[in-house]
């Protein structure tokens, strides 16, 4: 039976600023999360009495996927792990599950407003605590046995801006990105890490491999062979943003193998791809390459990235309201105002001309009556 090991908060969505009077309420601090055996419970503390709703993104109208816990300065939602679009990623070694859900707190009963906030929450469930014992060689004069107990490193995968080093959520095709893999450990000199088995997914199940089981790249135009460093238990590589046809969402996922360090950490020996033609492999077509088994092998997933194609506007078959929201955030208007200047000028000129004609005919008619 799995039990709670850790949970990670990632702010993934903030409603764009609009010219309106905001609801006089807000979130105090960070939400509290309890990763239970069957549910994930999230507790929010608010500045004033809460009169809105909390729901799972994409499942706002499903009975078990929203909460209207109102009338207090706290509100909660309890999300079943087997419903509401909750996703699970299995870690084979150490055995466990990463369970992820996206939750939105809305201070309006029906609509999304300026002060609303969205969170992507991940819980890691592990069958048992795993501690690695690493014996150290000591001089013969020492009679007391000495061992070092080290916790299993916690690893993450990030896609960031190479200049600001901030995580990216929306980019354009061709934008420079920096893929980073990092494992945090209280004893980094004890471990070696190898990134392998990376693939991209379009949000609807289509997957393509970009890094093989041996840690080598397939297509340098998507992701070249990795560079290990600059610190211990770190790897990174710059790449350009790409996207699936007719899709905006792209997800990156890799596996990280951890081994006990023996002198120097081995780095995958990969062929030079500078003269290789473009190629891509569907994940289902990939040939499995035997690789050495490490102490631990865990899956890491980067936050979802939305990639826009500036030449084609936005993507093809996405929801129109979603495309409209993105355009408002990054362009500031639905229709470029420059395209309205000529039609507006023509209409104004036409109105002035018609008004002049009407005034002229009116005076002419009055003058004719006076003469008669």
**363, two tokens:** 């005076």
pLDDT at 187: 81
pLDDT at 277: 63
pLDDT at 293: 56
Provide the residue ranges of all domains of the chain, joining segments of one domain with +: 1-130, 148-318
Stated as kind and residue range, the H or E segment containing 155 is strand 154-160
pTM greater than the 0.85 cutoff: no
SS3 state of residue 159: strand
**182, two tokens:** 């990092």
Distance CA 190, CA 345 (A): 72
pLDDT at 94: 66
Cβ(211)–Cβ(226) under 8 Å?
yes
Tallying the residues shown for the chain, one arrives at 372
On whether the 148-318 domain is CATH 3.90.550.10, my answer is no
Report in angstroms the alpha-carbon separations of 99 from 89, 123, 126, 306.
Answer: 7, 5, 11, 21
Distance CA 340, CA 18 (A): 22
pLDDT at 15: 36
Domains 1-130 and 148-318 share a fold: yes
- For 1-130, CATH gives 2.60.40
Phi, psi of 203 (to 5 degrees): 90, -10
Q: Which residues are CB-neighbours of 169 under 8 A, at least 6 positions away?
A: 12, 13, 303, 304, 305, 306
pLDDT in tens, the chain (372 residues): 344 444 343 433 433 333 445 678 888 888 888 888 888 899 999 989 988 889 998 888 888 899 888 888 899 999 998 888 888 887 766 677 788 888 888 887 777 777 778 888 888 777 544 444 445 444 444 444 444 445 678 899 999 999 999 999 999 988 999 999 999 988 888 888 999 999 999 888 888 899 999 999 998 888 999 999 998 899 999 999 988 877 888 999 999 998 888 778 889 999 888 776 655 566 555 544 445 555 678 889 999 999 887 655 544 444 433 443 433 334 444 555 666 777 788 888 888 888 888 888 877 777 666 655
Report in angstroms the alpha-carbon separations of 329 from 20, 241, 323, 340.
Answer: 15, 20, 10, 20
Report in angstroms the alpha-carbon separations of 258 from 201, 328, 340.
Answer: 24, 44, 59
Distance CA 49, CA 66 (A): 18
Stated as kind and residue range, the H or E segment containing 362 is helix 341-371
């Amino acid at each position: 039976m799995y039990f709670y090991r850790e949970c990670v908060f990632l702010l993934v969505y903030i409603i764009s600023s609009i010219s309106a009077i905001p609801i006089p309420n807000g979130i105090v601090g960070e939400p509290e999360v309890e990763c239970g055996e069957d549910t994930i419970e999230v507790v929010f503390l608010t500045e004033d009495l809460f009169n809105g709703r909390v729901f799972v993104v994409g499942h706002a109208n499903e009975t078990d996927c929203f909460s209207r816990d109102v009338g207090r300065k706290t509100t909660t939602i309890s999300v079943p792990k087997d419903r509401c679009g909750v996703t699970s990623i299995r870690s084979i070694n150490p055995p466990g599950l990463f369970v992820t859900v996206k939750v939105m707190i809305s201070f309006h009963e029906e609509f999304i407003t300026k002060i609303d906030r969205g969170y992507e929450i991940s819980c890691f469930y592990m069958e048992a605590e795993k501690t690695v014992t690493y014996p150290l060689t000591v001089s013969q004069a020492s009679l007391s046995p000495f061992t070092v107990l080290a916790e299993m490193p916690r690893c993450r995968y990030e896609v960031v801006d190479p200049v600001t080093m901030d995580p990216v959520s929306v980019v354009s095709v061709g934008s420079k990105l920096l893929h980073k893999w990092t494992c945090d450990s209280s004893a980094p000199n004890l471990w070696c890490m190898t990134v392998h088995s990376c693939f991209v997914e379009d949000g609807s199940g289509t997957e393509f491999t970009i890094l093989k089981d041996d840690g080598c790249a397939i297509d340098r135009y998507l992701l070249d062979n990795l560079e290990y460093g600059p610190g211990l238990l770190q790897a990174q590589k710059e790449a350009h943003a790409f996207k699936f046809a007719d899709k905006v969402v792209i997800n990156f996922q890799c596996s990280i193998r951890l081994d006990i360090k023996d002198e120097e950490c081995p780095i995958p020996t990969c062929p030079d791809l500078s003269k290789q033609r473009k190629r891509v492999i569907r994940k289902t077509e990939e040939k499995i390459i035997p690789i050495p088994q490490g102490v631990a092998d865990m899956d890491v997933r980067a936050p979802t990235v939305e990639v826009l194609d500036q030449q084609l506007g936005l993507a093809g078959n996405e929801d129109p309201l979603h495309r409209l929201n993105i355009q408002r955030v990054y362009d500031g208007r639905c229709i470029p105002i420059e395209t309205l200047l000529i039609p507006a000028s023509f209409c104004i000129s036409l109105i002035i001309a018609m008004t002049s004609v009407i005034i002229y005919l009116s005076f002419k008619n009055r003058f004719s009556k006076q003469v008669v």
